[in-house]
């Protein structure tokens, strides 16, 4: 039988492996939730939970974690699993925030912040390129992407992204 402490510790381990994206943590889910604790979940259950987490709204890893925690120990398991998953990130962000605040006026912090911005932008551009290669496969999708890009350049923050996604989703239903 799982204890809430066992669940918390397992999801801390999974949270530590979620560097860069939630999908990176999937590789840690099987050894931690199935192999190390075979009475918690079987491989098929974990696969089903990952698929369901991918289909539901919200951050994929958070949703999958809550589903797995719920399956293992009910509502308390869902809460504890989610808290465990977030614990490493919360601690790291708190330490970084403290350090940046403490040393905000120092030259190394200014240099670091200035250097990180183009690096982060580069990562966004690479992600955009990867998504574009896999998703822009025909003329209608390319045109929709171009129109969306132009619309946001032209209107900026006047259009809510959720409304734009809904509009393009409905357009996609009509076109495809």
Mean per-residue pLDDT, 78-98: 95
Q: Name the pTM for this structure.
A: 0.64
- Residue 33, judged by CB atoms within 10 A of its CB (0-12, 13-18, 19+), counts as buried
Tokens of 98: 């403290």
80 vs 20, more confident: 80
4 pLDDT exceeds 90?
Answer: yes
CA 9 – CA 162 distance, rounded (Å): 36
Residue 173 has which token pair? 């239903």
**Percent helix, percent strand, percent coil in the chain, to nearest 5:** 85, 0, 15
Question: Where do runs of H (alpha helix) occur along 103-160?
Answer: 107-135, 139-155
Residue 118 to residues 112, 113, 123: CA-CA distances in angstroms? 11, 9, 9
Domain boundaries, the chain: 4-102, 116-175
Across the range 16-39, mean pLDDT stands at: 85
Q: Does residue 20 have a pLDDT over 70? A: no
The rounded percent of the chain whose pLDDT value lies above 90 is: 46
Give yes or no for residue 111 having a pLDDT over 80: yes
pLDDT band at 119 (very low <50, low <70, confident <90, very high): confident
Of residues 77 and 169, more confidence is placed in: 77
Give the separation between CA 91 and CA 97, rounded to whole angstroms.
10
The band of 29, judged by pLDDT with boundaries at 50, 70 and 90, is very high
pLDDT attached to residue 91: 95
């Amino acid at each position: 039988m799982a204890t809430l402490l066992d669940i918390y510790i397992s999801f801390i381990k999974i949270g530590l492996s979620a560097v860069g994206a939630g999908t990176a943590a999937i590789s840690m889910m099987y050894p931690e939730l199935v192999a190390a604790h075979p009475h918690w979940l079987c491989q098929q259950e974990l696969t089903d939970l990952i698929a369901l987490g991918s289909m539901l709204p919200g951050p994929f890893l958070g949703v999958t974690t809550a589903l797995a925690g719920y399956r293992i120990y009910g509502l308390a398991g869902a809460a504890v699993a989610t808290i465990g998953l977030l614990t490493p990130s919360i601690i790291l962000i708190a330490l970084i925030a403290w350090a940046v605040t403490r040393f905000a006026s120092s030259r190394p912090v200014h240099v670091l912040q200035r250097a990180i911005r183009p690096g982060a932008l580069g990562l966004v551009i690479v992600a955009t390129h990867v998504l574009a290669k896999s998703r822009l496969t025909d003329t209608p999708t390319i045109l929709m992407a171009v129109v969306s890009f132009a619309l946001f350049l032209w209107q900026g923050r006047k259009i809510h992204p959720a409304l734009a996604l809904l509009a393009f989703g409905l357009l996609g239903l009509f076109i495809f």
